[in-house]
Structure 1
């Protein structure tokens, strides 16, 4: 309402409140200039800032290349993890056989160690034997002896017997473990039938030997102070293409 009055009569500035006159400098010309400035600001179109969403073609190409690189790395990592999952079981089995982890008997000892070790005569250990078959395995499998007595540093020989009662040939493969688990690192097999395919023709029956010894260091381990019984367990599976054996180191009931 005051703006037309200011433009028409310069004397109208005297009617304005003191605060407005002070703001405008009390001069009609300054009021006109200030009013024109306000009108220009309202009438002139505002400059629209450039859109942030618009990107140059070069940036788009660069981001596409980066995305492809990231996807390549992700795909390679996925393939690598799948490969490790397939290799985990055999690698873990080899590690268990070398270290005795999880009750797995240690394999791969040479004859020189057997010839030089000293038996601990005062430490007698009872070794019991267990035999199992998988639900799909049709063999009859059992130990020839239920138990034997050995001393650390002395070799021993035991036998298992397997029979194929069916009218077809069956190929079997076995896993094993030792209980208690801590004794697995001292239970050393010189010869056994584990992890090797065994073919039995219809109604064929065979004896399978296990030649082993308990390391003399068994007697020096404080954890073995109260261990006087060790159980050796074998489980036979039917060997089929693509079938994977379970990880050793678990007791079978």
Structure 2
């Protein structure tokens, strides 16, 4: 049996081990939380389209940005009107206007953030390294739908306009940290 004078160091060591374990688990748990709840505008990834298409139309605006890359990046259509539940494709044009090969990775978010759990991507170029040769142009496609369940959520049922924002970051950006 542990004596009282030895109990405090044992408890402190236990708390230290617990806190260390939680610090390692924090990132994957936060990622899981965001994907399940759509927190912070985190969109969903889906393998199948919904079985129902509603008459409700939502305007989806596409915002494109480039950070630390000699690229032009834009959506072929800045705004598209989509029916809730309908599968949609949007094309993005990208051009490397430098004289060197460069690589980038796109990240995204949706606004308002409450829509994140209802914005489902069936295919996307995001979070994958994209390499463009000097002067090369490319077209990237994102396939998505708005989940019909959004009309049952008081925070999203009256939405008529949403913004999907993409930013291409140089892959060198990630090497800096």
Answer 1 or 2: higher relative contact order, Cα 8 Å, separation at least 6: 2
Structure 2 partner of 1:231: 163
Structure 2 partner of 1:170: 102
2:57 aligned to which of 124, 133, 136: 124
Q: Does 1:204 align with 2:132?
A: no
1:106 aligned to which of 37, 44, 50: 44
Q: Does 1:183 align with 2:115?
A: yes
| TM-superposition CA deviations, 1:185-231 (whole Å, max 9, x none) | 10000001111111111111111101000001111212223310011
Structure 1 partner of 2:20: 80
Consecutive unaligned residues of structure 1, counting only runs of 5 or more, are: 1-62, 245-253
Structure 2 partner of 1:219: 151
**Rg larger in 1 or in 2?**
1
Which aligned pairs between 1:1-253 and structure 2 lie closer than 5 A? 73=13, 80=20, 84=24, 88=27, 92-107=30-45, 109-111=46-48, 114=49, 117-121=51-55, 123-134=56-67, 136-240=68-172, 242-243=175-176
Over aligned residues, Cα RMSD in angstroms? Answer: 2.7
Asked whether the equivalents of residues 60 and 161 of structure 2 are also in contact (C-alpha less than 8 Å), the reply is: yes
Alpha-carbon distance in 2 for matches of 1:83, 1:141: 37
Instruction: Report the TM-score when normalising by structure 2.
Output: 0.82
Asked whether the equivalents of residues 117 and 216 of structure 1 are also in contact (C-alpha less than 8 Å), the reply is: no
Alpha-carbon distance in 2 for matches of 1:97, 1:185: 7
Asked whether the equivalents of residues 151 and 158 of structure 2 are also in contact (C-alpha less than 8 Å), the reply is: no
Q: Residue 82 of structure 1: CA displacement?
A: 10
Extract structure 1 runs of 4+ deviating beyond 6 A.
none
Alpha-carbon distance in 2 for matches of 1:199, 1:177: 22
Instruction: Report the TM-score when normalising by structure 1.
Output: 0.59
Q: CA 1:193–1:203 in structure 2 vs 1: closer, same or farther (change >3 Å)?
A: same
Alpha-carbon distance in 2 for matches of 1:235, 1:195: 10
Q: Residue 153 of structure 1: CA displacement?
A: 1.1
Alpha-carbon distance in 1 for matches of 2:36, 2:134: 36
Q: Residue 162 of structure 1: CA displacement?
A: 1.2
Count of matched residue pairs: 168
Higher helix share: 1
